[in-house]
Amino acid sequence: YVNAVYLRGAHFIHDLRTRMGDESFFAFMRDYLARMNGGIATKENFLTILRQHTSADVSDIIAEYFQDPR
């Protein structure tokens, strides 16, 4: 559980930051916090806000970390 949730999650965030660059990544994180603070966030919320802050293609990163295990 620790590996699946915490470690992979940290790697996912790191990979996004690397691809997006610090300025876009931190603007995204601030916006995400402002919009979702106190609410229940979904994967769709996260990805919608993410895409508003980068023109970088992050589809491969998303596919790697959010594959359907079936």
Per-residue model confidence as pLDDT tens digits over 4-38:
778 988 999 999 999 999 999 999 999 999 999 99
- Residue 47: name the closest of 70, 36, 2, 69 by CA: 36
Residue located via tokens 């990163």: 61
pLDDT band at 69, cuts 50/70/90?
Answer: low
Q: What's the mean pLDDT in 29-52? A: 95
Q: What's the mean pLDDT in 52-68? A: 91
pLDDT value of residue 70: 54
Q: How remote is the C-alpha of 10 from its chain's centroid?
A: 10
